[in-house]
Structure 1
């Protein structure tokens, strides 16, 4: 047995996930709960690559929540003796190595090839999505939206700006295209415009322009975009404005509100719990939805607490 049952925020290399430190206990818990295991082999203390993986990949609130909710997370230190070294040998993993993530079924069988030699959030997101789909489990809407946010973050999306008669309605019209990731209402030289980021794997620029033309919008190459004072107008009129949100989430919620669609499918369990909390408006600012979720999330945890229970 490991001396430490869990490791939570004790090491920068492990991010904000609460990791079990006992491999066999993790497998037993997975079998009991019917969950897969996310098994991290990590150097602790580690090199800059290991620290970046912990701080850039394993601290995003929605990544952390999905791992905590759908997996039993277990961390093995690949530069420690004793039990860690024994597990390392069991999986034929080298010591003093960069981060490696394996995905095990509740019975301990490996589900997919391991994630190795890739240390970005998008790579982990793709693997986790593949595991959930393989198990026939649903991939939560908030996690799919995170994948779209990561396309923007890693420069894999495309940006285009459209002039619109009304940028508030323009946002909701353009957001209805399935390839659109984010929309922002703003101005260029006094003209109302909507700035769009979209997934070029799902639609070509010319086809998106055709869609926009059908809505009476026109692409513009003019520069100097300035964000409007009330972006995501419909979201801003809703209590969800007090939530920490990603750009893709706020775009989808801004579309859902005027159409009276269900918001829960776009929110994580923690976000849904906060939305139902009578203290939310008192504890959070009106512009929280526009802030970087990595800063606004821990600030709201400090005010309202977290529903997550560590192992």
Structure 2
């Protein structure tokens, strides 16, 4: 196998992660760097399931950054002969199979049961979080927020709308409830409202409504929500508006700014580095924070590149 990173952009099945292709070299690097190995068995070229795993799961910028920072990623092609086939036999993995992810210590020992028969971002997120917690490593705030974004992405959140006397303060008030994932200021029939996505496993609708009423807001079932031109008002007044952000991040940052919270607790290392780059403002739009991070991240990367990391 190669001992360097592969040209992963040539293979849609591999997403945006820069994978090593040498299994033994990966274990050696894990020992040198004190990191676990994230070992992907993948068809290349692969079926539609394999391509979706690469494009839906392994392209999210925050997932890619976490894997690069905390793991040594190694890819084995399960439909190739030669050295790849030998690694398959070592782990008793079938050939021509859907994606399988294993998590190894530097000695090759499996840290947790493998991820198999599940091909969504939440599944991989849960396993990565479990590995970090098992090793006593911290789980970064931005990665915990990503789990909440994925709840929305996979249709597992609930959306509720509340009328508010002022939707800008309404956003920060509702964002303080631990079950609230995102807030957006807008209008329904000419009335100021805040629309929220919540984790339904963390709060019941009656309890959330009671919290909102205590803050002076009322639930509304009227449709026709129209986003205001200045959602996340406090975030819009900060330099963070130039960053690629997820919906959960921008909601938490909009709360952190007026309360002087630490933005570093909500941003990835790359986002934090971009935030202090003097070229950020001229390289990014004022409303970059509102755009899909899967598009805005590579656009800013093309302008500023990786900061403080090897290219």
TM-score bucket of the superposed structures, by smaller chain = over 0.9
- Deviation of 1:306 (Å): 1.3
Please tell me whether the aligned partners of residues 2 and 20 of structure 2 are also in contact (alpha carbons under 8 angstroms): no
Counterparts of 1:32 and 1:249, CA distance in 2:
33
Deviations 1:144-196 (A, max 9, x none): 00000000110111110000000000000000001100000000000000000
**TM-score (normalised: structure 2):** 0.98
**TM-score (normalised: structure 1):** 0.98
- Deviation of 1:47 (Å): 0.7
Q: SS where residue 274 of structure 2 aligns? A: helix
Question: What corresponds to 1:5 in structure 2?
Answer: 4
* Aligned: 1:20 with 2:20: yes
Structure 1 residue runs of 4 or more that deviate by more than 2 Å after TM superposition: 307-310
- Deviation of 1:9 (Å): 1.5
Question: What corresponds to 1:305 in structure 2?
Answer: 305
Question: What corresponds to 2:113 in structure 1?
Answer: 113
Q: SS where residue 193 of structure 2 aligns? A: strand
Question: What corresponds to 1:243 in structure 2?
Answer: 243
Counterparts of 2:272 and 2:3, CA distance in 1:
32
Question: What corresponds to 2:161 in structure 1?
Answer: 161
What is the root-mean-square deviation in Å for CA atoms of aligned residues? 0.8
- Deviation of 1:107 (Å): 2.3
Matches within 5 A, 1:40-119: 40-119=40-119
Please tell me whether the aligned partners of residues 3 and 25 of structure 2 are also in contact (alpha carbons under 8 angstroms): no
Counterparts of 1:201 and 1:296, CA distance in 2:
31
Deviations 1:4-62 (A, max 9, x none): 62213221110100000000000000011110000000000111111111111100000
Counterparts of 1:215 and 1:107, CA distance in 2:
54
Matches within 5 A, 1:173-212: 173-212=173-212
- Structure 1 unpaired stretches of 5+: none
Question: What corresponds to 1:147 in structure 2?
Answer: 147
Q: SS where residue 249 of structure 2 aligns? A: helix
Q: SS where residue 258 of structure 2 aligns? A: coil
Q: SS where residue 9 of structure 2 aligns? A: coil
Question: What corresponds to 1:130 in structure 2?
Answer: 130
- Structure 2 unpaired stretches of 5+: none
